[in-house]
Structure 1
Amino acid sequence: MSKIKLLIHEVFKQGEIDTGKNKKNSIALFLSVHLKEALNLDIDERTLVRYYDAFIVETKKEISIEPYKLDIFSKYVGYENFTEFSRTFVKKDESANKTTVKISVDKDEETLTEKLSNIIINITNEQHFKMPDFMKQNGLGIMEIALLLCLVTGNVVFSNNKKISSGTSFPLGFMSGLQPVTDKKYMYWDGERYIATDSSFIRPGLEVKAMNEYQFLHFKKITRKDTLTVSNALDVTWYSKFYGSVEFFTDDGVDPENGRELRSSTAHIIEKYAGPAAK
């Protein structure tokens, strides 16, 4: 995310706090008046709404903003100028979502980053299966796949020969005793999948909904349509067609971006809108 985009996010977030309102036009009107009175910036409501649409709603391409305006916006959110903002700002949402995970084995605790280098995955029962290409490209990450294999077929063995057997019950957590991410109360769509959160509000223009464990785990947009073929996608993917644009998903439901009901992918749809030509 660009520093200008981050700054506009922070300006409207601060405006929401100062006004107690969450509508962009109301916040923009307040900002227009306040910035002129407090910081001598003459800027109208419509310009601020354009900034909101370009950098927060992202319905249009990002637009340029004069450097002196960026300096004043930075002062409004507590920085000397835009240079200081760019150099020192840390997005609160990102830092708040970072968690240091500890693994407890016979009362010996180590941080996850220290422990991962010593983890050995021991698959005791050989399994033969073929993962579809679109799942490789759009589904589970390396660590998720590794942990899933631990859950389904084997054990996790640490370098000191302490192990957690496949009989241990931790259906959604990383290790037993840790809180599953689906215990969070809410989730929001980030454009590709649902992200879990404890907050009922993330930022203006972003819909936060109650946690739906099934959707959180299984519903994703397939970002690599060029990996889809009739053989690997028929009857196991769904699509949304909106103004001639087709997006594919890993499960049935509603397109979070336009509210349209998804349909099961047919051979015709897959051949026309997916495959190598869809790159």
Structure 2
Amino acid sequence: MSKIKLLIHEVFKQGGIDSGKNKKNGIALFLSVHLEETLNFDIDERTLVRYYDAYIAGTRNEISIEPYKLDKLSKYVGYDDFAHFSRTYIKRDDDANKTTVKINIDEDEESITDRFSKLIINITNEQYFKMPEFMKQNGLGIMEIALLVCLVTGNIVFSNNKKINSGSLTLGLIAGMKPDDEKKYMYWDGERYVATDSGYIRPGLDVVAMNKHRFQHFKKIMRKDTLTDQNALGRTWYSKYYNEVEFFTDDGIDPDNGRELRKSTALIIYKYAGKQKDSIEAEE
């Protein structure tokens, strides 16, 4: 909502209170007379009706209002001028739309979380709230952010000073969170797919539509030295690129180089992973 629209709303709201009227024409007539008597501000009631139609009813296009008129209207609703109204009213409106979470930590708790003692988190329910970039990248919502706070701290105290144990609160938050595989997108982080609700995270990162099977089962095996014939043959796939071999837990495409994966053979496992059986067949 624009600052001028906020001001016109406040002027007619105050005019209705001062006059006891609830119709735009009655309020506009009162304002026209009252503003001339109290602020030496001569403004026609028809002009005020046009302001109402443009900025409150929305029945006509918004019109330009001279700066000195904005100053006079601002003074009527208790401000020094329009600049003062713009600064102060927005701050007051922000305060009305904040949820304050106070984190309280027991005095005898000796841990890194002591640094968060008396921390206050203000979450603004307006367009002014900026989501941190790392939260966008991982698709974190407000409920998930609150869960992270609960896990780091011992308990939470709300504005009514009621103390809630983080254990029970965490269970409630988990119940309301969206499962990762129900998010819209996912991206490869070099080891596995990470779920996100954002279709764009940063340049060079390929965000794709959620595939529940690949999200749950497709991973790169980071400890190749643990692979053996017994645990890897017939259960893993590999990608060979510039004589470098990477192993995966499911069939598909290597997300890092786009090559189609092949089923791991005994020889591939022997050459590029852990020690195998004595009997090695020729590479396929």
Q: TM-score range by the shorter chain?
A: 0.3 to 0.5
Highest RCO, 1 vs 2 (Cα 8 Å, sep ≥ 6)? 1
Which of the pair has more CA radius of gyration?
2
